[in-house]
């Protein structure tokens, strides 16, 4: 049986940790809980003990606990350490290596993978200190899930809500998955549209919803890959276990892609805006004549990546076409230096819809995947990527 050590931090979202324990037990995962002092203000050790069917640990200074199961052993006997909710304070201590209570001592002493599910007020999540700490933790190899966005207990709205327990469970199962075919591989995915500003309130965009790219990121993570998802502005939740980098413009996307390297494979699904405007510093006033927009060309992220010295082993592009789909995709494959092109017939209701008809163009030829749900296109593509790596 796989086992996790669940560290429950002090935030209102701690009540959701109870549901997480229940789901883990139902999924056959053993759970031992550590409750921080703050956490005890929100849930009781008794609740977690009953749900986990195991003793709950709350302090470093309990002689009986310490003689029966030393804290070093507690930190190492699990297959995975999960921090949920990971408060701003807990993550700051983790990033700094502070060990001033049982939870932080265990986190410093563990030699097991660590997964953190953050929950905090939106301003705390967006604060430069938290941004820095999250970046440090990710560099240190901690999987930090993206919080959900929505109304908060404090009355504000934004990112900072604890991901739903079933999403955390999926991330746990993903992290515990030892036989994932893409384990140890890093795959970079771009998704969504870009927004190219014209002035502070207007932008040029396109109809991409990001759904196909997000589905691909999710399918890759399910196979155990470490996935970096560089996303333009979309209204989609981050798939469990995926590291998401949000960008607006093509230039920002190009920079985010470059900083995410090295990668074993890249799947460029984003509908990158081909042109950018010289954005006016102030809102353009409606005048007698419409403004003359000066457009310049955006970098071709896919083509640059395919030519770069850090080129991933497998570079996959997408091609949205409304006519002569395969001919255009074949030409695009050669022109951009991609290994595969997934040609997308967008003459119908594909953009924003659920289904997709695609043609996989490789050096070996063309395969046709007719009217499949986007999740199935994603699953098949992830499977093919696993074969190729
Ligand atoms: O040339 P076109 O935009 O049709 O090519 C589509 C493919 O190229 C997609 O994989 C898209 O993500 C990628 N692309 C890019 N950077 C651009 C334009 C397209 O990465 N500036």
Give the tens place of pLDDT for each residue, 323-365: 888 899 999 999 999 999 999 887 766 555 667 788 999 999 9
Region 3-176: CATH code? 3.40.50.1950
Ligand 1 within 6 A of CB of 305: no
Q: Which of 258, 270, 306 to mutate to test the pocket of ligand 1 (most atoms within 8 A of CB)?
A: 270
Ligand 1 within 6 A of CB of 101: no
Q: Would you state the pLDDT for residue 248?
A: 97
**Which residues does the annotation mark as catalytic?**
154
Q: Would you state the pLDDT for residue 349?
A: 61
Ligand 1 within 6 A of CB of 342: no
Mean per-residue pLDDT, 100-129: 95
Give the tens place of pLDDT for each residue, 34-49: 999 999 999 999 999 9
Q: Per-residue confidence at 101, pLDDT binned at 50, 70, 90? A: very high
Q: How far is CA 383 from CA 157, 184, 380, in A?
A: 38, 15, 5
State the burial class of residue 201 (Cβ atoms within 10 Å of its Cβ: 0-12, 13-18, 19+): exposed
Ligand 1 within 6 A of CB of 17: no
Q: At the top level of CATH, which class does the domain 186-388 belong to?
A: alpha beta
Ligand 1 within 6 A of CB of 190: yes
| Residue whose pair of structure tokens reads 């967008």 in the numeric block | 346
Range with the poorest average pLDDT among 136-145, 269-278, 329-338: 136-145
Is 186-388 in the same CATH topology as 3-176?
A: yes
Long-range contacts of 48-57 (CB under 8 A, 24+ apart): 48/8, 48/17, 48/18, 48/21, 51/18, 51/21, 51/22, 51/25, 52/6, 52/21, 52/25, 53/25, 54/30, 56/32, 57/32, 57/33, 57/102
Look at strands 3-8 and 30-35 and give their pairing. parallel
Most confident segment among 86-100, 130-144, 310-324: 86-100
Q: Would you state the pLDDT for residue 5?
A: 97
State the burial class of residue 134 (Cβ atoms within 10 Å of its Cβ: 0-12, 13-18, 19+): buried
68: pLDDT strictly greater than 80: no
pTM of the complete model beyond 0.85: no
2: pLDDT strictly greater than 70: yes
Closest CA to 274 of 301, 237, 255: 301
Q: What percent of the chain has pLDDT over 70?
A: 97
Residue spans per domain, the chain: 3-176, 186-388
Give the tens place of pLDDT for each residue, 78-99: 999 999 999 999 999 999 999 9
Phi, psi of 136 (to 5 degrees): -60, -45
Q: Per-residue confidence at 297, pLDDT binned at 50, 70, 90? A: very high
Q: Per-residue confidence at 180, pLDDT binned at 50, 70, 90? A: low
The closest-lying atom of ligand 1 relative to the alpha carbon of residue 250 is 21
Q: Would you state the pLDDT for residue 276?
A: 96
Distance 381 CA to ligand 1 centre (A): 18
Two tokens, residue 256: 């985010």
Q: Would you state the pLDDT for residue 174?
A: 78
Distance 6 CA to ligand 1 centre (A): 42
The closest-lying atom of ligand 1 relative to the alpha carbon of residue 320 is 4
Look at strands 202-204 and 196-199 and give their pairing. antiparallel
Q: Per-residue confidence at 292, pLDDT binned at 50, 70, 90? A: confident
CA 78 – CA 110 distance, rounded (Å): 9
């Amino acid at each position: 049986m796989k086992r996790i050590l669940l560290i429950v931090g002090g935030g209102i979202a701690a009540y959701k940790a109870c549901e997480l324990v229940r789901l883990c037990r139902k999924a056959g995962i053993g759970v031992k809980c550590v409750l921080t002092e703050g956490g005890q203000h929100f849930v009781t050790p008794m609740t977690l003990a009953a749900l986990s069917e195991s003793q709950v640990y709350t302090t470093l200074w309990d002689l009986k606990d310490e003689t029966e199961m030393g804290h070093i052993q507690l930190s190492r006997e699990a297959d995975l350490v999960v921090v949920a909710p990971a408060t701003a304070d807990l993550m700051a201590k983790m990033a700094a290596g502070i060990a001033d209570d049982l939870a932080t001592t265990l986190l410093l002493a563990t030699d097991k993978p660590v997964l953190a599910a953050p929950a905090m007020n939106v301003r705390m999540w967006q604060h430069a200190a938290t941004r820095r700490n999250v970046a440090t933790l990710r560099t240190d190899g901690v999987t930090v899930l993206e919080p959900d966005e929505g109304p908060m207990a404090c009355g504000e709205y934004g990112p900072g809500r604890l991901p739903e327990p079933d999403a955390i469970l999926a991330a746990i199962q993903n992290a515990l998955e030892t036989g994932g075919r893409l384990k140890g591989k890093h795959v970079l995915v771009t998704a969504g549209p870009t927004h190219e500003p014209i002035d502070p309130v207007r932008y040029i965009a396109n109809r991409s919803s990001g759904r196909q790219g997000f589905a691909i990121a999710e399918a890759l993570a399910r196979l155990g890959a470490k996935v970096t998802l560089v996303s333009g502005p979309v209204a989609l939740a981050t798939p469990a276990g995926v590291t998401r980098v949000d960008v607006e413009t093509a230039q920002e996307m190009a920079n985010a892609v470059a900083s995410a390297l090295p990668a074993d494979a890249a799947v460029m699904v984003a509908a990158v805006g081909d042109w950018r405007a010289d954005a006016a510093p102030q809102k353009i006033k409606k005048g007698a004549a419409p403004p003359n927009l000066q457009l310049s060309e955006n970098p071709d992220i896919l083509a640059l990546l395919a030519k770069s010295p850090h080129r991933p082993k497998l570079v996959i592009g997408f091609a949205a076409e409304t006519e002569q789909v395969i001919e255009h995709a074949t030409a695009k494959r050669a022109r951009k230096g991609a290994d595969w092109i997934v040609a997308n017939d967008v003459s119908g209701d594909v953009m924003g819809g659920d289904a997709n008809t695609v043609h996989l163009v490789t050096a070996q030829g063309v395969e046709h995947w007719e009217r499949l749900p986007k999740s199935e296109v994603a699953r098949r593509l992830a499977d093919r990527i696993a074969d190729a790596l």
